[in-house]
A = this chain, B = another copy of it.
Amino acid sequence: MTNNKMNQLIKEINQLLGQTIPHSSLGTDLEDSMRYSLEAGGKRIRPVLLLLTLDMLSTDYKLGYTSALSLEMIHTYSLIHDDLPPMDNDDYRRGKLTNHKVYGEWKAILAGDALLTKAFDVIVNDANLKDSVKMNLIKRLSFASGHLGMVGGQTLDMQSEGSAIDLNTLEHIHHAKTGALLKFAVMAAVDISEPEQNVADLLETYSEHLGLMFQIKDDLLDVYGDETKLGKATGSDIENDKSTYVSLLGQSGAEEKLQSHTKSAYECLEHLPKQYDTRNLEYVIELFNNRES
Contacts from A to B (Cβ < 8 Å): 21, 24-28, 30-31, 34, 77-78, 81, 84, 86-87, 104-107, 109-110, 112-114, 116-118, 120-121, 124-125, 131-132, 134-135, 138-139, 141-143, 145-148, 151-156, 158-159, 172, 176
A158 nearest CB neighbor, chain B only:
B106
CA distance A113 to B24 in the complex (A): 23
Q: Are B86 and A105 in contact (CB under 8 A)?
A: yes
Q: Are A112 and B113 in contact (CB under 8 A)?
A: yes
CA distance A158 to B106 in the complex (A): 9
Answer whether A28 and B121 are a contact pair too, CB < 8 Å, given A81-B109, A135-B131: no
With beta carbons under 8 angstroms apart, the residue of B21, B26, B87, B156 that contacts A155 is: B26
With beta carbons under 8 angstroms apart, the residue of B86, B113, B116 that contacts A106 is: B86
Q: Are A25 and B113 in contact (CB under 8 A)?
A: no
Answer whether A34 and B147 are a contact pair too, CB < 8 Å, given A27-B156, A104-B86, A154-B110: yes
Answer whether A147 and B109 are a contact pair too, CB < 8 Å, given A125-B139, A135-B135, A138-B120: no
With beta carbons under 8 angstroms apart, the residue of B25, B106, B156 that contacts A26 is: B156
Residues of B within 8 A of A147 (CB): 21, 24, 30-31, 34, 114, 117-118
CA distance A73 to B36 in the complex (A): 28
Q: Are B146 and A117 in contact (CB under 8 A)?
A: yes
Residues of B within 8 A of A124 (CB): 135, 138-139, 142
CB distance from A194 to the nearest CB of B (A): 15
Residues of B within 8 A of A31 (CB): 147
Residues of B within 8 A of A138 (CB): 120, 124, 138
Residues of B within 8 A of A34 (CB): 147
